[in-house]
Structure 1
Amino acid sequence: MQENQAEAIAEAFRAAQIEADPVTKTDLSANDTDLRHALQETEQRFKAQIDLLRSDLTGKFTLLQWMLGLLLAGVASLVIKSFF
């Protein structure tokens, strides 16, 4: 490689380095903090949705248990009536 080519490459590299916007540790830590905050918010929303669904299902299962109990009581009364 000729000397003038090497100098042109070095100069182009210097110009590219000057124009570049390097990332610092503070930039990374700020993004890390933002991501952690967003992740915590998302986790809280998911937990709230899960709790809401769980309470809804618990209420429905309680209703089904009462309905099944009444059905079994009716069947038991019919069985007892037919034998006694």
Structure 2
Amino acid sequence: MSALGRWSLGIGIVLVVVAVVLAAVFNLFGGAALVGIVGLVGVVMGLYDAAYQALARRDLRRRGERAQQRRDSR
């Protein structure tokens, strides 16, 4: 996971928690909705980055295995 992905995920989770506190404790539903939406965008960005990096590693591993099979068949 890249640094930007980790940062986005961490900030997103914090913002979602802040939104829950704003709504539950202070009854500020408008502010909680805005903070929650921004937090969810951060969480989605972080999860997308994690999935993208995992797929890239899988692709690299598959290409390595195919190259190894080609070398072994010679």
Q: Counterparts of 2:27 and 2:71 in 1: how far apart (Å)?
A: 64
Q: Deviations over 1:30-79 (max 9, x none)?
A: 11111110011111111211121111111100011112222xxxxxxxxx
The list of structure 1 runs, each at least 4 consecutive aligned residues, that deviate by more than 6 angstroms after superposition, is none
Displacement of 1:23: 5.0
Computing the radius of gyration from Cα coordinates, the structure with the larger value is 1
Q: Counterpart in 1 of 2:29?
A: 25
Equivalent position amino acid for 1:59 in 2 = R
TM-score when scaled to structure 1? 0.51
Aligned AA for 2:37?
T
Residue 49 of structure 2, aligned match among 37, 45, 48: 45
Q: TM-score, normalised by structure 2?
A: 0.57
Partner residue of 1:79? Answer: none
Structure 1: distance between partners of 2:27 and 2:62? 51
Partner-residue secondary structure (3-state), 2:37: helix
Identical-residue share of aligned pairs (%): 6
Structure 2 residues not aligned, in runs of 5+ = 1-25
